[in-house]
């Protein structure tokens, strides 16, 4: 603390926002004889703004002001509020110094001493000739939080919510169970005490920090514990979720083959660690980071939001710089680590950053949610140029129940994709092989305007079986699209006769136009698609046409962020309908109270409906 030698001479003190939040003034009040505490209206406005956003800094700051009022009632101090209240625009510019400037103006006009816990505020005040006392934030030893009492050696996470009994998850990946700790429901007041302790500790423990503080949601990384706090309006009730790493293990505890160890040492530079939530991905990422840093003597960094990997002091953990992982990656490209652990890849920007750093020569290890080994590679494939995938991801390690279940590797070749026959259909293909058996598992290539990730095992599905193979579904969409370019007004159906032939059914009046003079048009289409095409009349053979004596309705469809909305007449509420794309049956539904049927956009059914609309195929409802 500065200027304490003259502290007893202080009579008028101006508090800024940082000193109120930190409750810094309590350290000097007891040394003074009835001081006048001046709180600028700008401080109250900023605290009120933060509190209205659900941020605990604002709530705690207002409580500290309330405590000062109690001291005034006891005759120990005088408290006054003065200065201009900032408008909403000025409050929004608080990070640029607008509020701090208003607080310094109050200190000048009142000829008072400014108390602050903000180093920059202190320096600016001194530069302006204002008497200032800088009280740095108190760095305390790490305290055991009450929340720690819910953990034992087998606990992986704690789940607390008001009006609900406390619950924890215990066990190891693949064998985790949810356990009730008592039958007594938790109260809001008790949880609020825990929250206040957690947030207060994050301000003083140098290894604890607030990762996110938004309206209704706060995330605190308290050493090895990641603590998520949710409250209204974000959630309907106060909730605390605490997660800690399952274990710190060595890479050798995974019983890796000598061949895989050799690959990790010498040739794996773009690694994806994939698996479902709770499978043990981050635990393996930690083990791999320690392997590269310790045994391989490499410089290793991490990119995390929040920072919850438990790694040695030799490994520096980076969070988003000024809220941006792209800025973090720019810094890392200057630092040039040997390997960077990116935990986790979720958004498109994450995958682009991963790809850019890998192409710049940095060894990358990315952690990604996936339910199948190929899913992680597929998510990369949908976001970057196909030909550079092997340069970005050469090794994909799939984790399940805390164990390595599959390891895939990628390479680029030029060939005719599996399932196609014509030699002139050769194209660049990414082959995905099982690392151990070298068996080809997947192929990634472009077909028309689509990027296809083909499961080789599905190519053996017999034509005519109830479920079409993936290749048939893909080819059907492309054929329908090409036919619609030629015959935009005709009804169209595609049936696979064999893997080399399809029958296309169109309205009889359009058949000559589709075939073209001397068969040139259909020959050109067969060459382009690599498959033989037969042509039949849809009016004669389609057995899926809705009977004329049954009530049908063409539906209007629109797309929101999460749903496709199918709109029915008002009198349809409560009735059941079969839904068709043209003449092809899709599903059966009962109309809801808003005369609407909603389908989530992440379903394959939604893609089918959107494809049909793109081809001008009507969505039809038949009342059952």
Work out the pLDDT band at 347, boundaries 50, 70, 90: confident
Looking at residue 548, its pLDDT comes to 42
564 and 536 share a domain?
Answer: no
CA-CA distance, 620 to 572, in Å (whole number)?
14
440 and 500 share a domain?
Answer: no
The domain in which residue 369 lies consists of 251-458
In the block, tokens 């169109």 appear at 506
* CATH (domain of 52): 3.40.50.1010
451 and 490 share a domain?
Answer: no
Domain count, the chain: 5
Looking at residue 458, its pLDDT comes to 63
Residue 139 lies in a domain: no
364 and 502 share a domain?
Answer: no
CA-to-CA separations, 589 to 82, 544, 622, in angstroms, rounded: 64, 18, 10
How many CB atoms are located within 10 Å of the residue 509 CB? 11
Helix axes 373-381, 348-359, angle to 10 degrees: 80
- The yes-or-no verdict on residue 330 having pLDDT over 90 is yes
Burial call 458-474: b when 16+ CB within 10 Å, e when fewer: bbebeeeeeebbbbbeb
421 and 277 share a domain?
Answer: yes
Mean pLDDT of the chain: 83
276 or 357: which leads in pLDDT: 357
263 and 344 share a domain?
Answer: yes
Contact 102, 40 (CB under 8 A): yes
Contact 154, 217 (CB under 8 A): no
Boundary of a domain, candidates 212, 243, 274: 243
Work out the pLDDT band at 495, boundaries 50, 70, 90: confident
* CATH (domain of 162): 3.30.450.90
393 and 353 share a domain?
Answer: yes
- The yes-or-no verdict on residue 308 having pLDDT over 80 is no
Residue 465 lies in a domain: no
Q: What is the mean pLDDT of residues 267-296?
A: 91
CA-CA distance, 135 to 25, in Å (whole number)?
9
* CATH (domain of 505): 3.30.300.20
Residue 463 lies in a domain: no
Looking at residue 582, its pLDDT comes to 78
Question: Can you list the positions of beta strands (E) in 293-356?
Answer: 300-304, 316-318, 339-345
Work out the pLDDT band at 212, boundaries 50, 70, 90: confident
pLDDT tens-place string over residues 379-408: 888 788 888 999 999 999 999 888 899 999
366 and 257 share a domain?
Answer: yes
Work out the pLDDT band at 323, boundaries 50, 70, 90: confident
Boundary of a domain, candidates 541, 571, 588: 541
CA-CA distance, 179 to 14, in Å (whole number)?
51
Residue 140 lies in a domain: no
Looking at residue 544, its pLDDT comes to 43
Boundary of a domain, candidates 541, 576, 596: 541
536 and 483 share a domain?
Answer: yes
Sign of CA dihedral 168, 170, 172, 177: negative
108 and 170 share a domain?
Answer: no
262 and 346 share a domain?
Answer: yes
430 and 302 share a domain?
Answer: yes
Backbone φ and ψ for 92, nearest 5 degrees, come out as -65, -20
Cβ burial of 89 (10 Å; 0-12, 13-18, 19+) is: exposed
């Amino acid at each position: 603390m500065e200027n304490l030698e003259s502290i007893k001479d202080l009579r008028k003190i101006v508090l800024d926002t940082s000193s109120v939040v930190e409750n810094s003034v309590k350290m000097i009040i007891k040394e003074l004889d009835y001081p006048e505490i001046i709180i600028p209206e700008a401080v109250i406005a900023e605290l009120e703004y933060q509190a209205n956003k659900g941020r605990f800094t604002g709530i705690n700051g207002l409580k500290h002001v309330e405590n000062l009022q109690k001291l005034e009632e006891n005759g120990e101090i005088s408290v006054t509020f003065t200065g201009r209240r900032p408008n909403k625009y000025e409050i929004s510019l608080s990070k640029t110094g607008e509020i701090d400037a208003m607080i310094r103006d109050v200190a000048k006009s009142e000829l008072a001493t400014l108390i602050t816990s903000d180093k920059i505020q202190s320096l600016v005040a001194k530069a302006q000739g204002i008497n200032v006392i800088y009280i740095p934030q108190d760095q305390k030893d790490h305290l055991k939080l009450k929340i720690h009492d819910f953990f034992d050696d087998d606990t992986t996470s704690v789940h607390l919510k008001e009006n609900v009994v406390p619950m924890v998850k215990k066990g190891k990946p693949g064998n985790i169970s949810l356990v009730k700790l008592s039958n007594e429901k938790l109260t809001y007041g008790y949880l609020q005490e825990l929250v206040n302790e957690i947030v207060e500790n994050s301000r003083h423990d140098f290894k604890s920090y607030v990762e996110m503080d938004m309206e209704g949601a706060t995330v605190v990384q308290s050493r090895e514990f990641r603590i998520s706090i949710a409250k209204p309006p974000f959630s309907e009730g106060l909730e605390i979720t605490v997660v800690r790493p399952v274990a710190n293990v060595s890479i050798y505890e995974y019983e890796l083959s000598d061949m895989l160890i050799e690959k990790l040492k010498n040739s794996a530079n773009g690694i994806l660690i994939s698996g479902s939530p709770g499978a043990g991905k981050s635990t393996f990422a930690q083990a791999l980071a320690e392997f590269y840093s310790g045994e391989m003597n490499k410089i290793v960094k991490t990119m995390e939001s929040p920072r919850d990997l438990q790694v040695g002091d030799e490994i520096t953990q980076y969070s988003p710089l000024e809220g941006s992982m792209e800025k973090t990656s720019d810094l890392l490209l200057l630092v040039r680590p040997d390997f960077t652990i990116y935990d986790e890849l979720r958004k498109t920007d994450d995958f682009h950053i991963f790809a850019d750093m890998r192409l710049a020569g940095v060894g990358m290890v990315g952690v990604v949610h996936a339910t199948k080994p190929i899913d992680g590679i597929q998510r990369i494939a949908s976001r970057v140029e196909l030909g550079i995938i092997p340069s970005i991801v050469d090794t994909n390690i799939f984790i399940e129940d805390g164990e390595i279940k599959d390891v895939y590797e990628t390479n680029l070749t030029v060939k005719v994709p599996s399932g196609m026959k014509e030699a002139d259909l050769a194209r660049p293909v990414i082959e995905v092989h099982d690392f151990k058996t070298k068996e080809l598992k997947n192929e990634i290539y472009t077909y028309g305007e689509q990027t296809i990730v083909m499961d080789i095992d599905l190519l053996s599905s017999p034509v005519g079986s109830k479920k079409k193979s993936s290749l048939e579904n893909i080819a059907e969409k492309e054929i329908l699209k090409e036919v619609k370019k030629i015959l935009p007004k005709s009804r169209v159906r595609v049936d696979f006769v064999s893997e080399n032939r399809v029958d296309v059914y169109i309205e009889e009046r359009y058949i000559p136009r589709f075939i073209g003079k001397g068969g040139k048009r259909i020959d050109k289409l067969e060459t382009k698609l690599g498959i033989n095409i037969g042509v039949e009349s849809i009016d004669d053979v389609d057995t899926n046409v809705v009977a004329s004596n049954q009530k049908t309705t063409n539906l209007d469809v629109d797309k929101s962020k999460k749903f496709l909305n199918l709109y029915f007449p008002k009198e349809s509420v409560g009735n059941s309908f079969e839904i068709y794309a043209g003449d092809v049956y899709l599903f059966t539904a009962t109309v809801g109270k808003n005369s609407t049927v909603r389908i989530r956009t992440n379903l394959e059914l939604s893609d089918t409906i959107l494809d049909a609309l793109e081809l001008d195929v009507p969505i039809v409802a038949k009342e059952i």
